[in-house]
Structure 1
Amino acid sequence: MNVLLNIDENSRVPLFRQIRDQLIHLVDTGSLRPGARLPSTRHLAERLSVNRSTVYRAYQELWSLGYLESRPGSYSTVRRRPKVAAATRGPAPGHIDWTKRASPASEALHAAHRREEALLQKASAPGVINFVPLSPDSRLFPMDAFRRCMNHVLRREGPDLLQYGAPLGYRPLRQFIAERMRLHGVSVTVDEIMITTGAQNAIERLLRLLAAPGAPLVCESPTYARAMDIFRLAGVQIVGVPMTEAGMDLDVLEQVIQRHGPALVYTIPNFHNPTGITTDQAHRERLLTICERHRLPLVEDGFEEEMKYFGKTVLPVKSMDHHGVVIYLGTFSKILFPGLRIGWIAADRRCIDRLASIQRTLILSGNLLDQAALHRFCRTGHYDLHVNRMHRIYRRRMQTAIKALRAAFTDGPVHWTEPAGGYTIWLRLHDVAAAEDEIVQRLLEHGVMALPGSFHFHGAADGTYFRLSIAHLDEAAITEGIRRLAAGIEDLYRRPDERNLS
Structure 2
Amino acid sequence: MKRLSIELNKNSEEKYYIQLYEDIKSEILLGNLQVGDKLPSIRQSSIKFKISMTTVLQAYSMLEKYGYIEKIPGKGCFVKKIENFTLEKKVLPLLNTFKYGQYLESSAINFSNGTPPSKYFPLEIYKKLSKDILEKYGASVFEYQNVQGVQSLREVLSEYLEKEDIFVTENEILITSGTQQCLEIVLKLFSENLELTVLVSDPTYPNALNIFQGNCNIRTIELEEDGWNMEKLEEILKHEKIDLVYEVINFHNPTGVVWSDEKRKKLLHLAKKYNFYVVEDDSFSEFFYTGEKPKPLKSLDRINSERVIYIRTFSKTIMPGIGIALMIIPPLLQEKGILAKYGIDTTTSGLNQRILEEFIRENYFPEHISKIKNILKVKYEHMFKILENSKNLKIVIKPRGGFFFWVRILKDINIENFYGKAIEEGISLLPGSTFYNSGKMVPIIRLSFTVPTLTEIEKGIKKIDNLIDEF
Instruction: Report the CA distance between 1:359 and its aligned residue.
Output: 1.3
Contact 1:419 1:425 in 2 (8 A): yes
Residue 289 (structure 2) pairs with residue 309 (structure 1): yes
| Equivalent in the alignment of 2:427 | 448
Q: Which has the larger displacement, 296-305 or 439-448?
A: 439-448
What CA distance in whole angstroms lies between the structure 2 residues aligned with 1:90 and 1:384?
A: 52
1:220 paired with 2:198, answer no
Contact 2:172-2:331 within 8 A present in 1 as well: yes
| Residue 279 (structure 2) aligned to one of 280, 293, 299 | 299
Name the SS of the counterpart of 1:306 in structure 2.
coil
CA distance in 2, matches of 1:106, 1:350: 38
Q: Which residue of structure 2 aligns with residue 480 of structure 1?
A: 459
- 1:34-183 aligned at under 5 Å gives the runs 90=58, 115-121=93-99, 124-125=104-105, 127-183=107-163
Shift of 1:435: 2.4
Equivalent of 2:165 in 185, 193, 196? 185
The reply to whether residue 400 of structure 1 matches residue 382 of structure 2 is yes
Q: Residues 428-443 of structure 1 correspond to what in structure 2 (within 5 A)?
A: 428-430=408-410, 432-443=411-422
- The alpha carbon displacement at 1:190 in A equals 0.9
- The runs of 5 or more residues in structure 1 that have no matched partner are 1-86, 493-502
1:347 aligns with 2:325: no
The aligned residue for residue 29 of structure 2 is: none
Preserved contact between residue 429 and residue 447 of structure 2 (Cα < 8 Å): yes
Q: Which amino acid aligns with 1:164?
A: Y
**Distance in 1 (alpha carbons) for counterparts of 2:245 and 2:133:** 39
From the superposition, tell whether residues 354 and 436 of structure 1 become closer, same or farther in structure 2 (CA, over 3 Å): same
2:207 partner letter? R
Task: Give per-residue Cα distances to partners, 1:307-343, cap 9 Å, x unaligned.
Answer: 1111123321111111211111100011111012111
How has the CA–CA distance of structure 1 residues 339 and 107 changed in structure 2, closer, same or farther, with 3 Å as cutoff? Answer: farther
Residue number in structure 1 paired with 2:76: none
Shift of 1:105: 11
Q: Is the 8 A contact 1:149 1:374 kept in 2?
A: no
TM-score where L is the length of structure 1: 0.73
Do the aligned residues in 2 keep the contact of 1:297 with 1:326 (CA within 8 Å)?
yes
CA apart distance, 1:475: 1.9
Measured against aligned partners, the alpha-carbon deviations of 1:98-134 in whole angstroms (never above 9, x if no partner) come to: 669xxx9999776666553434455635533120111
Q: Map of 1:332-411 to 2, 5 A cutoff?
A: 332-409=314-391
- Match in the other structure for 1:283: 263
Q: Distance in 2 between matches of 1:373 and 1:99?
A: 46
Moved more, 108-117 or 387-396: 108-117
Match among 215, 220, 224 for residue 244 of structure 1: 224
Q: Does structure 2 retain, via aligned residues, the 8 Å contact 1:447–1:484?
A: no
**Alpha-carbon separation, structure 2, partners of 1:448 and 1:114:** 17
Tell me the equivalent position of 2:17. Answer: none
Distance change in 2, residues 1:206/1:88 (3 Å): farther
* Distance across 2 between alignment mates of 1:222 and 1:486: 24
Measured against aligned partners, the alpha-carbon deviations of 1:369-421 in whole angstroms (never above 9, x if no partner) come to 11111211221121121011011111111011101111224xx7734322111
The one-letter code sitting in structure 2 at the alignment partner of 1:201 is Q
SS of the residue corresponding to residue 220 of structure 1 reads strand
Quote the Cα distance in structure 1 between the aligned partners of 2:398 and 2:375. 17
SS of aligned partner of 2:389:
helix
Higher Rg of the two aligned structures: 1
Quote the Cα distance in structure 2 between the aligned partners of 1:105 and 1:387. Answer: 46
CA separation of 1:340 and 1:399: change in aligned 2, threshold 3 A: same
* Alpha-carbon shift at residue 265 of structure 1 (Å): 0.6
Matches of 2:266 and 2:252 in 1, distance apart? 18
Q: Deviations over 1:447-491 (max 9, x none)?
A: 433210101001143732100011212222222222222222344
| Counterpart in the other structure of 1:67 | none
* 2:25 matched residue in structure 1: none
Q: Which residue of 2 aligns with 1:319?
A: 299
What is the CA–CA distance in structure 2 between the aligned matches of 1:474 and 1:168, rounded to whole Å?
40
Change (3 A) 1:153 1:90: farther
Q: Specify the alignment match of 2:243 in structure 1.
A: 263
1:330–1:345: 8 Å Cα contact kept in structure 2? Answer: yes
1:348 maps to amino acid: P
Residues 99 and 378 of structure 1: CA distance in aligned 2, closer, same or farther (over 3 Å): farther
Aligned length: 398
Residues 88 and 380 (structure 1), Cα distance of their counterparts in 2 relative to 1, 3 Å cut? farther
1:132–1:471 Cα change, 3 Å = same
Q: Percent identity?
A: 24
Amino acid at match of 1:406: E
Q: Secondary structure at the match of 1:386?
A: helix
Distance 1:472 1:457 in 2: 24
TM-score normalized by the length of structure 2: 0.78
Q: Indicate the SS of the match to 2:213.
A: helix
Q: Residue 204 of structure 2 contacts residue 254 of structure 2 at CA under 8 Å; is this kept in 1?
A: yes
Please give the per-residue CA displacement for 1:46-71, whole angstroms capped at 9, x wherever unaligned.
xxxxxxxxxxxxxxxxxxxxxxxxxx
The superposition leaves residues 238-270 of structure 1 with CA deviations (integer Å, 9 ceiling, x where unpaired) of 101111122223222222222221221111111
C-alpha distance 110-139 of structure 1, shift in aligned 2 (>3 A)? same
Tell me how far apart the structure 2 counterparts of residues 376 and 349 of structure 1 sit (CA, whole Å).
Answer: 28
| Conserved? CA contact 2:91–2:434, under 8 Å | no
In 1, the alpha carbon distance for the partners of 2:84 and 2:317 equals 30
Aligned to 1:58: none
Residue identity opposite 1:188 in structure 2: V
Aligned pair 1:254/2:215, yes or no? Answer: no
Compare 187-196 and 110-119 and name the one that shifted more: 110-119
1:3-34 deviation per Cα after TM superposition (whole angstroms, max 9, x unaligned)? xxxxxxxxxxxxxxxxxxxxxxxxxxxxxxxx
- Aligned residue for 1:468? 447
Q: Is the 8 A contact 2:179 2:325 kept in 1?
A: yes
**What SS is found at the alignment partner of 1:408?**
coil
Q: CA RMSD in A?
A: 2.7
> Is the 1:153–1:372 Cα contact (8 Å) retained in structure 2?
yes
